[in-house]
Amino acid sequence: MSRRDEILLCATRDRIRTEQGLELASLQPLPAPRESDLVIVPGMPYTATEHLDRKVVRWVRTAYDAGAHIASVCTGSFVLGEAGLLDGRKCTTHWTRIEKLKQRFPRAQVFDDRLFVGDDRITTSAGIASGIDMSLALIEKVDGPLAAAAVAREMVVYMRRDGTHGQQSVYLDYRTHLHPGVHRAQDAIVQNPAAKLTIERLSEEAAMSPRNLTRTFRRATGISIKQFTTRVRLELARTLLHDPASSIESIARRCGFATARQLRRAFRDEFGESPREARYQPSFST
């Protein structure tokens, strides 16, 4: 018998104006919690975490006591902390509020290098986008990886990251510079990780000479073009490992590696484990 899920948007008021000015109307009152519920607490402006709605905090605690799974996105973790649900548990929040979460809830085990963290029936995520990754992991936990992959495809979510990924990644770590030509070369690599992009082709994208691009790329990012390309391919490979229908050989081809053996060697050098070992790691960091 298939399960039927119902999504409810609830609040203590029937209308709320978000920080971005969007009006949310016809919100339902907080319901009587059930054991089968999944409660997701959204993020809020940083200043709002200092003045939380006590009615919401009490309701979240009641929902947990009733057996519900409680999750949060971004600064929603502060609601869970106020409800006493982070005491002795592993958790995370947006990187700009990590220290504040540690100070406010000293009994919590706060991770600063995770997209999301699951601990028993409590799951917390970092920034807004990581809430999507957390949601896909929750779907995977209940309905399996095929269902999660189908939802990701329907949402056109290209990257499927797990909780062990840091809040920053190869897509962000080497993009803090301001050189437009290097950014264009990086965009070409990220958008075509399997392509054999020559230095001449990348130079055309960057509108720079090959020699100048090679020198400027390393100065701007701290690594070579080849190293950046390999790390982009490995990041994609780690994502594709979540699809159980994809073989290591097919993943290697999709990521631009000549052979599966080449992928395995590069993967172990970068992550300290084989693709096969990584494939069977749980999505949740616990």
pLDDT tier at 159, thresholds 50, 70, 90: very low
Taking the C-alpha atoms of residue 244 and residue 123, their distance in angstroms, rounded to an integer, is: 24
pLDDT tier at 147, thresholds 50, 70, 90: confident
Out of 148-162, 177-191, 271-285, pick the least confident. Answer: 148-162
What is the crossing angle of helices 210-221 and 180-191, to 10°? Answer: 90
* Cβ atoms of 66 and 33 closer than 8 Å: yes
Domain boundaries, the chain: 16-155, 170-279
Task: Read off the pLDDT of each residue in 198-219 and give the average, rounded to a whole number.
Answer: 96
Domain 16-155 has CATH 3.40.50.880: yes
Q: DSSP letter at 32?
A: P
pLDDT tier at 157, thresholds 50, 70, 90: low
Of the two residues 44 and 140, the one the predictor is more confident about is 44
Task: Read off the pLDDT of each residue in 244-260 and give the average, rounded to a whole number.
Answer: 93
Threshold 0.85, pTM exceeds: no
CATH number listed for the domain at residues 170-279: 1.10.10.60
51-94 residue pLDDT tens: 899 999 999 999 999 999 999 999 999 999 999 999 999 999 99
